A and B are shown apart, each in its own frame.
Chain A
Amino acid sequence: MSDSQTPRIIEPGHSFASVTDSISAIVLTQKTSRGWWLGFAISFALLMLFQLALTYLLVVGVGIWGINVPIGWGFAITNFVWWIGIGHAGTLISAILLLLRQTWRTSINRFAEAMTLFAVACAGMFPLLHMGRPWLFYWLLPYPNTMGTWPQFRSPLVWDVFAVSTYATVSLMFWYVGLLPDLATLRDRARDRARQVFYGVMAMGWRGSAVHWHRYETASLLLAGLATPLVVSVHTVVSFDFAVGIIPGWHSTIFPPYFVAGAIYSGFAMVMTLAIPLRKFYKLEDFVTLRHLDNMAKVMLATGMIVAYGYMMETFMAFYSGDLYDRYMIMNRMTGPYAVVYWVLIACNIVLPQMMWSRRVRRNVGLLFVISLIVNTGMWLERFVIVVTSLHRDFLPSSWGMYYPTFWDWATFVGTIGLFLTLFYLFIRFLPMIAIFEMRGLVPESAEKGKT
C-alpha cells in the first residue's frame, strides 16, 4: 500500500466466516495470554490502591486530600471533568457517526462505547467522594423526603446529576443493545456449558429472526437519536458547573462549546491510546486499519483547533473586557505559581498535536500513540489549570492560597485509572471488542473494492 492511496476500513481477503472466527476466537478459543495477565495484574493492583485510598477517605474524611479554602475542588473535580470528557468520544462514534452513516466507525465503536461506560463509572466516583459523606448521595435526587425539601434546581451541580446519570443510562443501554447479536453468536459458538449459559443469559433469547433484526435496527436508531444530544449536552452542563460561578477564569460564555470540543478531543485521544495496543496485541490490524487511525487523528486535529481557539478567546476576552480580575487571572495563569502547568498544557494540547497535519505522522502508529498520550495528559492539565488557578487567587488577596496534592490525591486518581483498565481488561477477555455482525456488513464492500 503506497502513501498516496487511502487505506481501507477492512483489509481484503475477509469473508463472513473469517471475520466471525478471528473476533470471536479472542474470547472463546484463544488462551489467555501472559501479556493479558500481566496487564490485568498491574491494573488490579492499582484498583486495590484505589480501594485503600477510598477506605482511608471514608474513615478519615476529605481532609486527607490537599483541598482547603480557597481551593475546595482540587483533584476531585479535575479528575471528574477529565473522565467524563473521555467518555464523549465513545458516544460520538456510536451515535453521531452511526446517524451520519460513517462505516469506518464499525470496528472501533464497541470498545469506544465500553470506554465511555468505564470512564463514566470513574468520573461518577469523584463528585460522590468529594461530597464528604458519600452515603448520603441520594440527597442529590428529588424524591419525597422527610426534610420537606427538593434539591436546589437552580444549581448546575444538580443539573450535573441528571446529565451524568442520563448519560450513563443511555450509554449502557446503547452498548448492551449493540452487544446482543454478538452475544448470541458467542453463545452459539461456545463449546462448554458454562459459557453457553453465560452468553445465553446475556443474549436474552436472541435468535436472529427478521423480527429481531427489525426491532434491533429500530432500537439502535432510537438510542442513537437519544445519545446524539447527549454528546453536546453532558459536557455543556459540566461546563456550567464553572461558567455559572462568578470566579474569574470560570465565568465565561465560551465554556460550553470549548468544553464539548475538549471532551471529544480527549476522548479520541483515549480511543487511540486503547486502539493502538489492542490492534497490535490481538492482531486486529485488518479491522482497525491505518484508515481508522488517520480519521481519528483528523478528528483530534479539528477538535484540538477548537480548543486552541477557546484558549485564545479566553485570553482575548480577559483583556477586551477590561475587567481587572479577568486580566489578572490570565496574567497569573501565564506567569504565576502554576505557570509551568499552563505552558505544558499549551505544549501538549496545541503545539505538539500540530504534527498530525503531516500524513506521514498520521500513518506512524508509534508516534500517534505517543501523541495520544500527550493529548490525554494535556487535557488533564487543562482541567487542573481551570479548577486550581482560577480558585487560588480570586478577588481578595487575603483569601489567596496554594493547592498541593497529597499522596491520597494521587492514589485516588491513579486508582481510578486502575479501575478503568481493570474493567477494560475484563471487557476484552469476556466480550467481543469489535462488533462482529457489523463487521460482516462491511465484507461485501471490501470484496468489491478488492477487485478494482
Chain B
Amino acid sequence: MAQIFHPSTNTIARVSIYGSVIALLVLSFALYGLGESPYYTDVNVPREQPVPFSHRHHAGELGIDCRYCHTSVEESSFAGLPPTKTCMTCHSHIWTNSEMLEPVRASYRSNQSIAWTRVNALPDFVYFNHSIHIHKGIGCTTCHGPIAEMPLTWKANTLLMGWCTECHREPQKYVRPRDQVFSVQYEQPTRFKPVYVRGKEYTDQLALGTDLVKAYKIQSLTDCWTCHR
C-alpha cells in the first residue's frame, strides 16, 4: 500500500502543534498589550479643542484655583465645565482682540456653548461623585495628573475599573491633607520634602496616608454596588 502522507507531514504536524500553542500565547499577550496601550485608552494623548485652552498657562503659570472654573466640584458629582461667561470675566479685559479667542467671543455673543471635546468620561453604568473624593482628601492631580504642565489637556489615567480599585483597596497610598487637595504643585512626602499636618512631620506617604485615613474616616469601599448602583 502506498504511503498516504509524505514524510514531511511529521514536521508539519509538530510545527503546527507547537506553533499554535505559541501563536495563542503571543496573541493573548498582544491583545492584553493593546488593551493597555494609549491607542485604546487615550492616556497621554492631548485632545484637540475648539479653542486651544491651556491648563499649563491658567492653572500653572497664573495659579488660578481649579474651583474658579470647575465650580461644582465640592458639592456635586460633576466638577462642572465653565460657561463662556467665566472666560469672559477676564477675556473681556485682556486679549480682547486675539484671533485665538474669537470662538469664545462668538459663543458669548450668540449665547451658544463652546463644544469642548470631553477628555475624561466615565460610562453611564458607573456612579462617580467628585465631591466625596475632594472631601476625603483625594487631590485633583491624583487622578487628573500634572494638569499644570498640560498645554492641551490629556487623560492622565486609564479610568479603567482596575485603576479605580487600586485606590479603593489601599486609599492610604494616595490620600493627601485636605488643604492640599486643590494644589497643583503638591507632591507626596519624602525625606527631603516632608509634609506637615497639624504640626506633625511626615516623611513618607504610608505614615501620612494611614493617619489621614483614620482622621478622615476613609472606608475602603470595594463592593460592586459602591459604583454600579
A residues with a Cβ closer than 8 A to B are 144-149, 187-188, 193, 196-197, 200, 204-205
Please indicate the chain B residues that have their CB under 8 angstroms from the CB of A144 in the complex: 32
Establish whether residues A200 and B5, one from each chain, have CB atoms under 8 Å apart when the complex forms. Answer: yes
Establish whether residues A146 and B35, one from each chain, have CB atoms under 8 Å apart when the complex forms. Answer: yes
Please indicate the chain A residues that have their CB under 8 angstroms from the CB of B13 in the complex: 204-205
Establish whether residues A149 and B5, one from each chain, have CB atoms under 8 Å apart when the complex forms. Answer: no
Contact for B162 among A145, A193, A196, A204, CB less than 8 A: A145
Please indicate the chain A residues that have their CB under 8 angstroms from the CB of B32 in the complex: 144
Contact for B163 among A148, A188, A193, A204, CB less than 8 A: A148
Chain B window 1-18, contacts with chain A (Cβ cutoff 8 Å), 1 for yes, 0 for no: 100110000100100000
Chain A, residue nearest B10 (CB): A205
Please indicate the chain B residues that have their CB under 8 angstroms from the CB of A148 in the complex: 160-166
Contact for B4 among A146, A147, A149, A187, CB less than 8 A: A187
B54 close to chain A: CB less than 8 A: no
Please indicate the chain B residues that have their CB under 8 angstroms from the CB of A147 in the complex: 160-162, 165
Looking at the assembled complex, report how far the CB atom of A132 sits from the nearest CB atom of chain B, in whole angstroms: 14
Task: Tell me the bound Cα distance from A193 to B3 in angstroms.
Answer: 11
Looking at the assembled complex, report how far the CB atom of B126 sits from the nearest CB atom of chain A, in whole angstroms: 11
In the complex where A204-B13, A205-B10, A205-B13 touch, is A146 in contact with B5 (Cβ < 8 A)? no
Of residues B158, B162, B166, which shows the largest number of chain A Cβ atoms within 10 Å of its Cβ?
A: B162
Chain B, residue nearest A187 (CB): B4
Looking at the assembled complex, report how far the CB atom of A2 sits from the nearest CB atom of chain B, in whole angstroms: 47
Task: Tell me the bound Cα distance from A188 to B161 in angstroms.
Answer: 57
Chain A interface helix/strand/loop/mixed = loop
Of residues A146, A149, A188, A205, which shows the largest number of chain B Cβ atoms within 10 Å of its Cβ?
A: A146
Chain B window 121-163, contacts with chain A (Cβ cutoff 8 Å), 1 for yes, 0 for no: 0000000000000000000000000000000000000101111
Task: Tell me the bound Cα distance from A187 to B163 in angstroms.
Answer: 56
List residues of B (15-49) whose CB comes within 8 Å of A's CBs. Answer: 32, 35-36
Chain A, residue nearest B224 (CB): A149
Chain A, residue nearest B169 (CB): A148
Chain A, residue nearest B2 (CB): A196
Please indicate the chain B residues that have their CB under 8 angstroms from the CB of A205 in the complex: 10, 13
Task: Tell me the bound Cα distance from A188 to B3 in angstroms.
Answer: 10
In the complex where A148-B166, A205-B10, A205-B13 touch, is A200 in contact with B4 (Cβ < 8 A)? yes
Establish whether residues A146 and B10, one from each chain, have CB atoms under 8 Å apart when the complex forms. Answer: no
Chain B, residue nearest A147 (CB): B161
Task: Tell me the bound Cα distance from A149 to B169 in angstroms.
Answer: 11
Please indicate the chain A residues that have their CB under 8 angstroms from the CB of B166 in the complex: 148
List residues of B (162-188) whose CB comes within 8 Å of A's CBs. Answer: 162-166
Please indicate the chain B residues that have their CB under 8 angstroms from the CB of A145 in the complex: 162
Task: Tell me the bound Cα distance from A193 to B161 in angstroms.
Answer: 55
Looking at the assembled complex, report how far the CB atom of A197 sits from the nearest CB atom of chain B, in whole angstroms: 6
Establish whether residues B161 and A149, one from each chain, have CB atoms under 8 Å apart when the complex forms. Answer: yes
Looking at the assembled complex, report how far the CB atom of A222 sits from the nearest CB atom of chain B, in whole angstroms: 20
Please indicate the chain A residues that have their CB under 8 angstroms from the CB of B163 in the complex: 148
Please indicate the chain A residues that have their CB under 8 angstroms from the CB of B164 in the complex: 148
Please indicate the chain A residues that have their CB under 8 angstroms from the CB of B35 in the complex: 146
The contact sample of 22 A-B pairs, CB cut-off 8 A, is A144-B32, A145-B162, A146-B158, A146-B162, A147-B160, A147-B161, A147-B162, A148-B161, A148-B163, A148-B164, A148-B165, A148-B166, A149-B162, A187-B4, A188-B1, A193-B4, A196-B4, A197-B4, A200-B4, A200-B5, A205-B10, A205-B13
The 3 closest A-B pairs by CB, nearest first: A148-B162, A147-B161, A148-B165
